[in-house]
Amino acid sequence: MDPNNLWLGVALIMGVIEAGTISIITVWFVIGALAAYVASWFGADRIVQAVVFVVVSVACLLAFRPLVLKRLASKKASDPTPVGQSGIVTEAIDGASHTGRVETPDHMSWSADSHDGSTIPVGTKVRITEQRSVKLVVQPCEPDAS
């Protein structure tokens, strides 16, 4: 592998991590890796490339992350919350491991946890009682008295 391509590999790996976590942290290291890649093409030695990577990554993280988070927070504030709506369990909710999925009436699939730590089987109709970031907290709906 061409040593210059090391930074492209780092950028790719960081990009994949960011896509998987959406943490808005590793995206800045993608930019740093690309800056180090450019430095490598200008003949900078490995130490200079590493310094460019660290300085650009940290500078971007400190300068831009708060702005992006603020922008996302203001956008989220205008988004309707699913709290109070019903949903259907599509992946069993395990209260012990805090895993499971629920589909809301607008056909959005959410990670979910049970309100009281119980297990809720697939197909159960649930009421959404709380939203914690991208995870819904749910409890089974009371069965209809018929």
pLDDT of residue 76: 56
pLDDT at 87 over 60: yes
Whether residues 72 and 90 fall in one domain = no
More confident residue, 96 or 38: 38
pTM assigned to the model: 0.49
Its domain, for residue 26, covers 5-78
pLDDT of residue 108: 87
pLDDT of residue 1: 58
Whether residues 17 and 45 fall in one domain = yes
Domain boundary among the residues 43, 61, 78 is at 78
Whether residues 100 and 135 fall in one domain = yes
Whether residues 49 and 99 fall in one domain = no
pLDDT of residue 126: 95
Whether residues 17 and 73 fall in one domain = yes
DSSP codes joined into one string, 32-80: HHHHHHHHHHTT--HHHHHHHHHHHHHHHHHHHHHHHHHHHHHHHHHSP
Whether residues 45 and 109 fall in one domain = no
* Length of the chain (residues): 146
Q: What is the mean pLDDT of the chain?
A: 87
pLDDT of residue 102: 95
Q: What is the pLDDT of residues 47-85, one digit of tens each?
A: 999 999 999 999 988 888 888 778 777 655 555 678 889
CA pair distance 43, 27, nearest whole angstrom: 25
What is the dihedral sign for C-alpha 79, 85, 91, 92? positive
pLDDT of residue 81: 75
pLDDT of residue 70: 80
- The answer to whether residues 138 and 112 touch, using CB atoms and an 8 Å cutoff, is yes
What is the dihedral sign for C-alpha 144, 124, 81, 115? positive
Whether residues 20 and 56 fall in one domain = yes
Whether residues 61 and 113 fall in one domain = no
CA pair distance 29, 58, nearest whole angstrom: 8
Q: Residue 127 carries which side chain, given as an amino acid letter?
A: R
Whether residues 70 and 99 fall in one domain = no
User: Is residue 146 included in any domain, yes or no?
Assistant: no
- Say how many domains are in the chain: 2
pLDDT at 42 over 70: yes
User: Is residue 120 included in any domain, yes or no?
Assistant: yes
pLDDT of residue 79: 55
pLDDT of residue 26: 86
Contacts of 40 (CB under 8 A, 6+ apart): 3, 4, 6, 7, 49
User: Is residue 145 included in any domain, yes or no?
Assistant: no
Task: Measure the CA dihedral 45/62/70/138, to 10°.
Answer: 80
Q: Please list the residues that pair with 21 across neighbouring strands.
A: none
pLDDT at 142 over 90: no
